[in-house]
């Protein structure tokens, strides 16, 4: 497997290219145990099921982490049941989802590392700011309040939902074409369709409306305290992402420029929004594991 091209920065927005592509195995040769490491909680975003994290849980387990991937409120444990009872998720917003995952953290007895994708990345940032997480990784995170860039690709990705105000109270199912544009634009259409069939679920429209209008509403649920004193944060962006274009994730990182804590930004230049579930997911997972090791959580992955 070829490692993707990467650009990285810490708070301050000074970017530099890392060394070029290198060969890496699909799985680590030997597990690197994260001695007494916190558990890792995975949080999915809209339109992907909690079980889409199963391959990540296996990989992180091999690295010595205990893991959990709770469902969203209203989401059934199985994809089939979630699709058949789509209305059970209708009306849930960012605050309700964040509270739901905070409740899932409480029984753990310690702060977990939180890894979230898309709206899961926004929730991960809110949990970190609330100091209920030891560290957070926000992968292609939905825009937080204060992010003002609005690329055309993102407008097109969200129009099928935001174009009908009634969707704020509904559960929405993406079509294969909409999924291919928003999630699968950096992969072959055949792979996008396979991911759609295997991992997608209906999702509530309300979080998308809340994020879209966050800068117009004081006290928006999409607000994150970017100056809170808390654990380290990694924002990871996909350079080809349509749903959360790289300029959006970079702008989110810039919001942390005055934060008193560690905030890093990595771009996987050739990846789209499907980066957590497509054929290149092991590279993304290992990038996260390496960053965690740099921050004192576990050991780096052998490449």
Q: Please determine, for residue 30, whether its predicted confidence score (pLDDT) is greater than 90.
A: no
Would you put residue 146 in left (φ > 0), alpha (ψ -120 to 50) or beta? left
Which pLDDT tens digit goes with each residue over 79-108? 999 999 999 999 999 999 999 999 999 999
Q: Is-contact 237 272, C-beta < 8 A?
A: no
pLDDT at 68: 98
Which pLDDT tens digit goes with each residue over 42-72? 999 999 999 999 999 999 999 999 999 999 9
Side-chain-facing half-sphere of 162: CA atoms under 13 Å? 13
pLDDT at 303: 56
pTM: 0.88
Q: Which residues 6+ apart lie within 8 Å of 42 measured at CB? A: 50, 53, 56, 57, 67, 68, 69, 115, 116, 120
What's the CATH number for 6-294? 3.40.50.1820
Distance CA 200, CA 204 (A): 13
Dig out the tokens for 93 from the structure: 């917003």
Task: Indicate the SS3 state at residue 139.
Answer: strand
Domain ranges of the chain: 6-294
Q: Please determine, for residue 300, whether its predicted confidence score (pLDDT) is greater than 80.
A: no
Residue 45: name the closest of 175, 207, 282, 158 by CA: 207
Q: Which residues pair with 264 in a beta bridge?
A: 10, 234
Dig out the tokens for 170 from the structure: 């509904």
Instruction: Say how many C-beta atoms besides its own lie within 10 A of residue 114's C-beta.
Output: 30
Distance CA 242, CA 236 (A): 14
pLDDT at 278: 98
Of residues 294 and 302, more confidently modeled = 294
Dig out the tokens for 20 from the structure: 């070029």
Q: Which residues 6+ apart lie within 8 Å of 235 measured at CB? A: 121, 138, 141, 249, 252, 253, 263, 264, 265, 266
Sequence-ordered alpha helix ranges (H) in 10-151: 54-62, 79-84, 94-105, 119-129
Side-by-side strand order, sheet with 233-238: 16-17, 6-10, 263-268, 233-238, 135-139, 113-117, 40-43, 67-68
């Amino acid at each position: 497997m070829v490692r993707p091209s990467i650009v990285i920065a810490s708070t301050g927005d000074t970017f530099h290219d890392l060394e070029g592509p290198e060969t890496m195995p699909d799985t680590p040769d030997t597990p690197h145990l994260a001695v007494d490491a916190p558990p890792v909680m995975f949080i999915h975003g809209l339109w992907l099921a909690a079980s889409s994290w199963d391959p990540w849980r296996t990989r992180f387990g091999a690295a010595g982490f205990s893991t959990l991937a709770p469902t969203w409120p209203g989401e059934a444990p199985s994809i089939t049941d979630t699709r058949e009872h789509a209305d059970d998720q209708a009306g849930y917003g960012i605050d309700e989802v964040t509270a739901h995952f905070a409740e899932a953290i409480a029984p753990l007895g310690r702060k977990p590392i939180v890894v979230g994708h898309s709206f899961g990345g926004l929730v991960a940032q809110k949990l970190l700011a609330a100091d209920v997480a030891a560290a957070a990784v926000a992968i292609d995170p939905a825009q937080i309040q204060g992010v003002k860039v609005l690329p055309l690709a993102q407008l097109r990705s969200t129009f099928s939902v935001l174009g009908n105000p009634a969707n704020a109270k509904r559960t929405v199912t993406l079509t294969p074409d909409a999924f291919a544009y928003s999630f699968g634009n950096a992969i072959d259409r055949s792979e996008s369709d396979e991911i759609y069939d295997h991992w997608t679920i209906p999702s509530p429209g309300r979080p998308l409306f809340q994020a879209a209008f966050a800068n117009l509403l004081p006290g928006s649920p999409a607000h994150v305290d970017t100056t809170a004193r808390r654990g380290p944060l990694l924002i990871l962006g996909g350079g080809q992402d349509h749903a959360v274009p790289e300029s959006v994730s970079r702008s989110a990182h810039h919001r942390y420029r005055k934060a008193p804590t560690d905030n890093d930004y990595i771009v996987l230049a050739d990846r789209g929004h499907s980066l957590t579930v497509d054929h290149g997911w092991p590279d993304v997972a290992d990038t996260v594991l390496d960053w965690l090791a740099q921050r004192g959580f576990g050991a780096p992955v052998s490449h």
